[in-house]
Amino acid sequence: MAEQEQAQAQMLLKERQRYEEGFLDCRNVQVSIALQKWGVPVELLYYNAWESTSSIYEHLYVNKKLPWLYESPCLVPSELGLIGVGYDEVQYATYEDAAAILQDVDYSEQVAFLWIVCGESPYAKPGFYGHPKSVHSVWVQGLSSTTSLDIELGDCTGGAGYWVRDTYPDFEGFVSETDFRRMVDSPYVHLEDRQVFLVRRPERNDSADKEQIMERFLERQRGLHDDATFYDMICRTVNLPEPEFFPEWKELYDCHSHAFKFLAGSRYAYSCFAESLVSSDHPWVRLLRDIARRADKLKNVFLMAAQSGRVDGRVVHRMCTELHRLEQEWFVSGHVELGREAQLRR
């Protein structure tokens, strides 16, 4: 029985992290995973994870910005103190500076993150890991050498290096000092991004300022509003003779898939905050996760459409109508009740 419960918990953790990766940016995904490993209730900072579909629509379709450039207020560093977590941002100019900083880190009590350039990552398949000049976050878990590790990379030649974890692509293993130098010292990593983000393990995991978090949640909640523009647009565009917003159907379907991936992650992350106030089997939490999973199915529909070049408009209309209905149901019931619950927690 205990093994079944453990397997179920592990499955839910993997599901949670998969949805988080669709919503949080690469840095915050890694920070969240690190805090979860320490047992820190990072989900308390998901109080503002609910993003309106109108904001998603404006970002992706009106402004045509990349999904990972969405400026969500969720899990910003300045709020880590609300859950008792301290951090430092240590500036560096060259790889040698960064190496000296990493040398002094106590990896049992701290986690370190740096910005690198995608095109210099030795463990990523070219063309499948963002733009070669894009800046991306990696998690340095420790200093190491190939002589003391099981080598996962065929081109390692020995010597010093770093034990690195990444979430896109999924990787955990040794990166040689030579490769890491190229990743960090690339001219595409601008001066303002050249900093080691150090997060300190809290002495206790029960030191969250829940009163302040509830205050911020209630303030955020008062400003939430949405409309049917996004869903109406999806239903309209899948039935047009020519694509709207983009010159090619593939681009439009890709954008639709990004939108629903982000939407699914937003709702699931928000459900984790709701769970911290009530319980995992509460109707509000179940409703939010039902919304997330339905949005995830629509993401998959459009991923396949981007490959095949076609989609069943009637199926999409039915799925969108039901998803929008559930979101409205949340707003008139769970949204209000969760606010009342937060009032009691202040």
pLDDT tens digits for range 149-195: 444 434 444 468 999 999 988 999 999 999 999 999 999 999 999 99
pTM of structure:
0.92
Tell me the backbone φ, ψ of residue 138, rounded to 5 degrees: -130, 155
Report the 10 Å Cβ neighbour count for 22. 22
Structure confidence at residue 206 (pLDDT)? 84
Higher-pLDDT residue of 198 and 345 is 198
55-59, 65-69, 70-74, 192-196: range with lowest mean pLDDT: 65-69
Residues 35-63, mean pLDDT to the nearest whole number: 97
Identify which of 116, 115, 24 has the alpha carbon closest to the alpha carbon of residue 76. Answer: 24
- Residue 169, preceding peptide bond in cis (omega within 30° of 0): yes
> Is the Cβ–Cβ distance between 48 and 79 less than 8 Å?
no
| DSSP summary character for residue 201 | P
Structure confidence at residue 124 (pLDDT)? 82
Structure confidence at residue 256 (pLDDT)? 98
Average pLDDT of the chain is 91
pLDDT level of residue 333 (50, 70, 90 thresholds) = confident
Structure confidence at residue 132 (pLDDT)? 80
Residue 265 has pLDDT above 80, yes or no: yes
Residue 146 has pLDDT above 60, yes or no: no
Structure confidence at residue 288 (pLDDT)? 97
Percentage, residues of the chain above pLDDT 90: 77
Higher-pLDDT residue of 250 and 146 is 250
Which residue intervals of 48-174 are DSSP H helices? Answer: 53-57, 95-103
Identify which of 80, 56, 76 has the alpha carbon closest to the alpha carbon of residue 66. Answer: 56
The answer for residues whose C-beta is within 8 angstroms of residue 195's C-beta and 6 or more apart is 89, 90, 91, 92, 114, 115
Residue 44 has pLDDT above 90, yes or no: yes
> Is the Cβ–Cβ distance between 124 and 26 less than 8 Å?
no
Structure confidence at residue 295 (pLDDT)? 99
Residue 129 has pLDDT above 50, yes or no: yes
Structure confidence at residue 128 (pLDDT)? 65
Residue 148 has pLDDT above 60, yes or no: no
